[in-house]
Each structure stands twice: as C-alpha cells, then as structure tokens.
A and B are shown apart, each in its own frame.
Chain A
Amino acid sequence: MKVITSDALGAWLDRLASETILLAPRSVDGIALYRPVAGSNEIVFDYTRPKMSPKEAVFPSTETLLSIEKHSQDVTLSEPVQEKKQVIFGLRPCDAHGIAVLDAVFVEKEPVDRSYARRREATTLVGLACPQMWESCFCTSMGGAPDDPSHMDVLLTAVPNGYAVNVVTEKGKALVADLELGEMTGALPHPTLGETVQPLPAERWPERFADRYWDLLAERCIGCRVCAYVCPTCRCFDVRDEVAERRTGFSRYNRLRCWDSCTGPNYRITAGGHNPRPTKGQRLRNRFFCKFYYMLQDYGSTGCVGCGRCIEACPVNIDIVEMLHDISKEPVISEVTA
C-alpha cells in the first residue's frame, strides 16, 4: 500500500478544489456537513460523521428533471445540462455503502434513472476510514466496517506519517495517477469497534408484520420525516411542476424531483382520497420493512448501512437499533394490527 503525507494531501485537495467540485466535511455553524470547499483549509479532519449523508451530492433534495417552455401553443422540453465532475472527500465507509444502495435502486435495476446516473458517473468517492465506531454507529451490524473500502474509489486511512492510500477502483486509480506516493511501512491501524446487533434474518421479517409492536413504537412518532432526510439510503421522491417564469405569451416551468418520506401522513393518498396506509404504525412499519425486507427483495440490497444518523436526529428517540433488538426477540405483543 502507498502513503501520502499530510502536506501532499493538502496540496492535492487544493488542486482538486480548483479543477473540479470538491465536496468535503466543512464546519457550517459548528456542524460538519459535506459541502463544496475552495481548498483544504476549509476541510475539517476531526469529524465523526457529518450530520447529513452525502446523498445530496448524487440525489439532491430538490433537482430539476426537466424544463418546460411554452410559447403560446408550442411547447419545448429540455433536460438539464450534463453534470460537472465532482469528488467527495472524507466520505465515511457507511456513506459510500449508502451510495452503493442508491446505485442498486437507480442504476442497477432497469430502467436506469438518467438524472441520478449522470451525476453518479461524474462523482468520485475518496473516503477517510473511521478510527473508531462512535456513539449510535452500527455499521458492523449491517455488513460494513469503519475501515471498509468496498464502496469507495479511494480509501485513505490516517497513519502516523500521513494517510495510507487504498486505490479501490479504476476511477480512483485515474484520480490519483499523478500523485507522488511513498511506500507504506507497517500495518494499518485497527479501528475500535462498537457493539453489534444481530438483525432478524430477512426471511423472518414477514412473521413480524401483523404485530402490534409497530403501533406502540409509532405512538410517539410525529411524522417529521427527519429520519428519511438524514438517511444515506432513503430515496423516496415526489415529482411536481413549479412555475419559473411567466409573461405574456411565454411561460417556463421546472419539473422538480424532491425528497419525500413514507412516514408522512399524505404519502400514499390518491387524488380520490384512498389511503392504504392511514396509521402511523403502518407507516413506520413500512419504513423499517423497506429497509430490512422490501429493499432486499426488490433491489438485492438492505436499505440500512448502520450510520446511526436517524437515531441521533429523531426528536422522539425512535431507535432503529432498539427496534432491531426488539423484533429479533420472540413477539411479546402478538395482538394483530391491520
């Protein structure tokens, strides 16, 4: 394995920031977030995991799928221009795993989602291994690890004389091609691991579907949807048109795609008023079943990477790990819900 000194890394990041869009953990009002940076001096290195996942970089919270221009009776549709190249630096292994889950939905399952695929193609992931699992982290329960290079293009690991450079993909190789790297001596440090939870095997989840547990758990849910917004893998969206410009004989609209979440009360309501998921218990159950059962059936990938953000963000302390513990036990509450 190769190694890069801290100074050389700084110079490289400065160059990347000038040549491409560089996203990296930056302190925004004291909170680390993956944000565009102008140089290495803006990057924070002593972060745990940024409050928001890097999902926004490949699947923005709001994006224009299409512009609609109307000149009296004539209509033209135009798609946004090609995405510029971007590098996400300092990405944690759980976050790269999250992007791999989005890939499974948007790219690996036909038909390919063009908008996502364009942006994803233009993105290179340069991760930074976690020295330890922090509070709420449970990546090792979800098939990941604090130093997992699996879904990265390049993974860096802090070592005493700089950073070990693990080039994982061809894309990564191209990015580091002109870097002067030294030879790594000694072994990579082992991250400090936290506890793991053994989730109920996917095939046993249906047994727990008609369980009153979900209603009880959801009693305190306020449907705020923050769990979905901080989640690296939640990808539900809404599409609607918005007026961008309107004058005599001309109007322009943007067809917007926005994040949405299945825990919102109106999520399933049709125009006719039918709502097959009217209770909070049903909606929260859907969120968890989606992650641990439906995603696996539909896209071949579990929908949770163990980043723990939803645990930290939930205003009413609904804890996904606690839920995994609860439902892996024999049902204590077997009263059936709708």
Chain B
Amino acid sequence: MTGNGCDPMRPYLGRLVGKKELGTDIRLFQIELTEPVGKSHFADYRPGQFAFVSALGVGEAPFGITSIPSRGEVLEFGVAKLGSVTGALHSLEVGEMVGVRGPLGNWFPMNEIKGKNIIVLGGGIGGAPLRPVINSILDHRSDYGHLTILWAARTPSLLVFTDEYETWQSAPDTTLHLTVDKGDEHWKAAGRSEGLITQLLEKVAPSPENAVTITCGPPIMIHFVSLTLKKLGFSLDQMWTTLEARMHCGIGKCGRCNMGEKLVCADGPVFRQDQVAGFLESFL
C-alpha cells in the first residue's frame, strides 16, 4: 500500500461477516471490506503478510492474515483474546464494522520453494499465519513435494483449525502430526501424541534433502525448533519463520518492532533462520 495515494495509517472499513471458535479464547474473524479501495488493495496479498485490524474506538493491532485471496474476498484472522484490542474484537457481533490496514510486510517465498518438500511447524495461535501456506500448497498441490505439517499447542483446546485437519490429511502427499504439551482425558484415551513440538519433530525426523521448513509459534518454540532441525541436518538457510513484535504503524515509522537495525514490520515479518541468527539483538 505504498505510493498508491492512500494514507498508510488509515484503515479500510470492513464488516464482520463471520466469527468461529478456533479454541479456548481463540476465534476466527471473517471480514468483508466495504470500500472499493480496500478491496482492490487486498486483491492479491500473499501468505505471510499481515494487517492491522481495528476494533474501532479501542485501537488496532497487527495480525497475520490467515486467508488466501484465491479462495475468496473475505479476509480471515485468527485472534487469541489477550489484550484490550483482541478483547474488543472478541466482543464484536457479526454485522459490526471494523477497520483493516494493510496488507503489510513481506511473505513466504511460495514460488522459490516450488518442487521442494515442505515441513510446516505451527505452535498455538502461531498456526494462523501458516494456514495460508498450507492452503496455497493444497491449491497448487503438484507444484510442491511432500507436505509435512507438525501442529502443536499447549492443550487440545488450544489447537487451531481442527475442523480442517481432515482436509489436510486427505490431501495427496500430505501428512499431519499433532501434539500437545499436556493432553486431556480424551486426548490420552485416543493415544495421541503428548510432548513438545521439538520431540515430535525428532520422532517424525523429516529428511533435509530438497526440503524447507516454515515455522511460527512463540519465540522460544521457534528457537528450539531451529536447534532440533539443525540436529536433523537442516541448514539455517532451509528454515523460514515469521516473527511477531508489538507494533504501532507497520510501515517502518513508529520504531517499536526493531530487533537491532531490523524492523519486523518493514524487513519482515518473514525471515530465514540464518538472517535471524545474524540479528544483533535477540528476538527471544
């Protein structure tokens, strides 16, 4: 949205057309932009890009866009209720107006990774910005090699997009592995995996040959996943991740999201792990 004549700090208006429970205090928000200029700027956003969503009258916060434009005009965001803006978003009713500012930031290199085996590692709400990666691959299945999804959360009720697992699993050449730090009775009774995503990763042990990994989750998870991947023979330049930071502009002005001289908003949020390793300041 640079250089198109619009004020980059002004959100586009949109209407909340749907909301769905994704987990405990986690919801999917479906937004239809109502202004033509907004629709046109969100016509071709990419997996990994983010946008600020406004709870108008409370404030705005950045979220990874979890939809892909080829599946429809409606923008989707997975939002965990954590602070004042997310709290206000959660209390909105379908039909109410919101603001959306973006699309912002860079994106996952979906073209460059064609032909490769892809390992997607999502932790908790960190799965939200990875869903467009998964759906893009599924929609262009023959362009990519094997897709391995490792999906984790602290508890079963925090696993996101559960109603899509069947579609993911039944897609050709795709495997889904789930784990939770601590299972409930049902989880245990079903004999499903308990433990950290790094333990699951060691067990699944994907081959680094002709493969790339795409990870999102809490910073500490991203860190330990990269260490485990290294053990499995992956080099840092095979690992992609997307980072989060508190932000107030998303356009490289407010100074909030810097890690050393890198700005998560303007230089990221998508980084390769060798770039992350080269940051002067830790993201942890």
Residues of A at the B interface (CB closer than 8 Å) are 65-66, 68, 70, 73-75, 77, 79, 105-106, 109-115, 206, 209, 235-241, 243, 251, 253, 255, 260, 262, 267-274, 276-277, 282, 286, 289-290, 293-294, 297-298, 338
Contact = CB atoms under 8 A, between A and B. Distances in A.
Contacts of A255: 59-60
A298 B254 CA distance: 13
Interface stretch (B108-116, B137-145, B199-207, B259-267): B259-267
Contacts of B2: 110-111
Nearest to B284: A276
B93 to A, nearest CB: 10
Contact of A294 (B11, B59, B254, B258): B258
B150 interface: no
A237 B7 CA distance: 17
Given A269-B246, A293-B261, 19 more contacts: A70-B97, A74-B97, A106-B253, A111-B1, A113-B9, A236-B255, A236-B256, A237-B255, A241-B56, A255-B59, A270-B244, A271-B85, A274-B218, A274-B244, A276-B219, A276-B284, A286-B258, A290-B258, A294-B258
A88 B218 CA distance: 48
B245 interface: yes
B244 A114 contact: no
Contacts of A237: 248-249, 253-255
A77 B246 contact: no
B126 to A, nearest CB: 10
Contacts of B244: 270, 274
B12 to A, nearest CB: 9
B260 A294 contact: yes
B58 A241 contact: yes
B8 A238 contact: no
Most chain A beta carbons < 10 A, residue from B54, B58, B96, B255: B255
Given A109-B252, A238-B248, A73 B9 contact: no
Nearest to B125: A272
Contacts of B170: none
B80 interface: yes
Interface in B73-109: 80, 82-86, 95-97, 99
B281 A276 contact: yes
Contacts of B96: 73
A215 to B, nearest CB: 15
Given A240-B59, A270-B244, A209 B253 contact: no
B55 to A, nearest CB: 8
A55 to B, nearest CB: 14
24 contacts: A66-B9, A68-B57, A73-B95, A74-B97, A75-B13, A77-B13, A111-B251, A113-B8, A113-B9, A235-B255, A237-B255, A238-B254, A239-B59, A241-B54, A241-B57, A253-B57, A255-B59, A260-B256, A269-B246, A271-B82, A276-B245, A290-B255, A294-B258, A294-B261
Contacts of B254: 236-239, 260
The 3 closest A-B pairs by CB, nearest first: A271-B83, A236-B255, A271-B82
Contacts of A338: 282
Contact of A272 (B57, B82, B280): B82
A253 B82 contact: no
Interface in B193-247: 218-219, 244-246
Contacts of B263: 298
Nearest to A276: B283
A25 to B, nearest CB: 28
A240 B95 CA distance: 23
B10 A77 contact: yes
Given A111-B251, A271-B86, A272-B82, A70 B259 contact: no
Most chain A beta carbons < 10 A, residue from B3, B58, B251, B253: B253
B9 A65 contact: yes
A239 B60 contact: yes
A115 B258 contact: no
B17 to A, nearest CB: 13
Contacts of A238: 248, 254
Nearest to B258: A294
A67 to B, nearest CB: 11
B197 to A, nearest CB: 17
B61 interface: yes
A220 to B, nearest CB: 23
Given A110-B2, A270-B245, A286-B258, A209 B280 contact: yes
Contacts of B256: 236, 260, 267-268
A211 to B, nearest CB: 12
Interface string B30-66: 0000000000000000000000001011111100000
A297 B261 contact: yes
Given A236-B255, A276-B284, A111 B8 contact: yes
